[in-house]
Amino acid sequence: MAFVGIFWLIVERDLPPVLLVDRCLANDGEIYGDFLTFGGHYDYWEHLSTLGAAKLRRCGLPTAPAWSEYEEWPRGRVVHHIPTRRFIVYADRKLQQPPIVRLILEQFQLPEDGYDLRSDRHYVSTRAIAQP
């Protein structure tokens, strides 16, 4: 079963890149017009930031929410378009590289032939990332 939700690519010093996600099963997503969706970038980042770096680390999560803003990091969203039964991956252009797209597909368990990759003006980060 595939998932819908939000994600960021976090690259912290001396650590491998991590895809930070907040997701739910597509069937449990929230209806938004013709789409099933889940989560909000700002709300989830704010929640994580209240945990602090030490607790994030203990939970196996990147510490970036404790010391940076959510829009700094390349991010995106996976939604399900109900009429076409296809998933749409909206992603910062910095993330539209085959290794990162594969990571997104794996995390959201999307079918290889059942998604479209798109850019959106909402998903433009300010932070440069190293190529994977």
Q: Residue 126's pLDDT is what?
A: 87
Q: Residue 130's pLDDT is what?
A: 63
Q: Residue 131's pLDDT is what?
A: 55
pTM of the full structure:
0.94
| Spans in the chain with pLDDT lower than 70 | 130-132
The pair of three-digit structure tokens given for residue 108, joined into one six-digit string: 């959201």
Q: For 87-125, give one letter per residue: b (16+ CB within 10 A) or e.
A: bbbbbbebbbeeebbebbbebbebeeeebeeeeeeebeb
The pair of three-digit structure tokens given for residue 4, joined into one six-digit string: 């819908």
Tokens 């980042």 — which residue? 45
The pair of three-digit structure tokens given for residue 33, joined into one six-digit string: 């017009």
Domain boundaries, the chain: 3-118
Q: Residue 132's pLDDT is what?
A: 53
State pLDDT tens for residues 68-80.
Answer: 999 999 999 999 9
| Whole-Å CA distances, 32 to 47, 67, 86 | 23, 32, 15
Q: Residue 13's pLDDT is what?
A: 82
Q: Residue 128's pLDDT is what?
A: 78
- Taking a C-beta distance cutoff of 8 angstroms, is the pair 40, 79 a contact? no
Give the containing element (helix H, strand E) for 58: helix 41-58
Q: Residue 55's pLDDT is what?
A: 97
d(C-alpha 100, C-alpha 17), whole Å = 10
Q: Residue 108's pLDDT is what?
A: 98
